[in-house]
Amino acid sequence: MPSSHPVARSRPGRSTLVAEVADRLRREIVTGTRPAGSKLSEPSLAVEQGVSRGPVREALRQLEREGLVVFDAVGRSRVVTMSAADFADISIVRVALESAAAAHVAACFDDRLRTTLERNIAKMEASRTLTDVSRLDLAFHEAVMEASGRRRLITTWRSIHSQLELWLGSLHRAREAITSDTLAETVRSHCLLVDALAGGDATRAREAAAEHAGGLVRWAPLHGVMPDGTTGSPVFVARS
């Protein structure tokens, strides 16, 4: 297993330049090396990364698509600034997509998937940092999405993937340890989801996924630390 996230590189066989720039920049953004709101000028990035403006331009557009970079009306780009409201926004999309995927996965659940997921949960139990848990959580859901076999569901989910990483990362930088309570709750929640998926009932799986992802919404902002370091009350998501 690779140590880096299974991030959505561009097409595999392709020229690696724009992908390299995008990967490096993505990492710098999600790790906080480039803080929210930082200016991203093409010439600076070009010399920094030792390439010309072309690839930088394309990389920035890709990161825009991933929601990590925003362009203003004049064409200038900055690292996105996310508020709790934005996180709620993202979570709505996440819940929608993961619920749909769960309903389909329930219909094609097999032992191979069970093994993958349970192995992931086992690693989660052995984790001691939020960063590790987060990485495993993302991998867990990536596996579920892929199991659904619905290509566009997956690509759409991936398009918000990085934003989740960014938000969670900003949370973790403020609070790296994880309590055994939180960990146990996380593990339990994932086990429940696996059970629901294994049950083969689409409706139950859908609801379990919604509950699971919704749990994160209720939990994450309650740490009270916004990505910009300020504290604020989370904007809430109406649950039906």
Q: Which is nearer to its own copies, 127 or 163 (CB)?
A: 163
| Secondary structure (DSSP) of 97-141 | HHHHHHHHHGGG--HHHHHHHHHHHHHHHH--BHHHHHHHHHHHH
Interaction residues for its own copies, span 188-207 (CB under 8 A)? 201-203, 206
- Residue 177 DSSP label: B
Q: Which stretch binds DNA (CB under 7 A): 38-46, 85-93, 140-148, 194-202?
A: 38-46
Cβ at position 12, least distance to DNA in Å: 12
Among 12, 75, 111, 238, binds DNA (CB under 7 A): 75
Compute the distance between CA of residue 20 and CA of residue 96 in angstroms, rounded to an integer: 31
Task: Please report whether residue 153 would count as binding its own copies according to CB under 8 A.
Answer: yes
| Secondary structure (DSSP) of 193-229 | HHHHHHHT-HHHHHHHHHHHHHHHHHHGGGG---TTS
Cβ at position 40, least distance to DNA in Å: 7
| Contact between residue 39 and residue 72 where contact means Cβ atoms under 8 Å apart | no
CB atoms within 10 A of CB 108: 12
Of 217, 225, 218, nearest to 169 by C-alpha is 225
Compute the distance between CA of residue 224 and CA of residue 100 in angstroms, rounded to an integer: 30
Residue 84: burial class (beta carbons within 10 Å; 0-12, 13-18, 19+)? buried
Task: Please report whether residue 54 would count as binding DNA according to CB under 7 A.
Answer: yes
- Residue 7 DSSP label: -
- C-alpha distances (whole Å) from 200 to each of 39, 141, 142, 189, 194 are 48, 18, 19, 18, 10
Q: Which is nearer to its own copies, 2 or 75 (CB)?
A: 75
Among its own copies, DNA, none, residue 90 binds (CB under 5-8 Å by kind): its own copies
Task: Please report whether residue 48 would count as binding DNA according to CB under 7 A.
Answer: no
Cβ at position 90, least distance to its own copies in Å: 6
Task: Please report whether residue 203 would count as binding DNA according to CB under 7 A.
Answer: no
Among 24, 28, 38, 89, binds its own copies (CB under 8 A): 89
Task: Please report whether residue 62 would count as binding DNA according to CB under 7 A.
Answer: no
Residues that bind DNA (CB under 7 A): 14-18, 40-44, 51-55, 57, 74-77
Residues that bind its own copies (CB under 8 A): 11-15, 57-58, 61-62, 65, 67, 71, 73-75, 86, 89-90, 92-93, 95-97, 99-100, 103-104, 107, 150-153, 156, 159-160, 163, 201-203, 206, 238-240
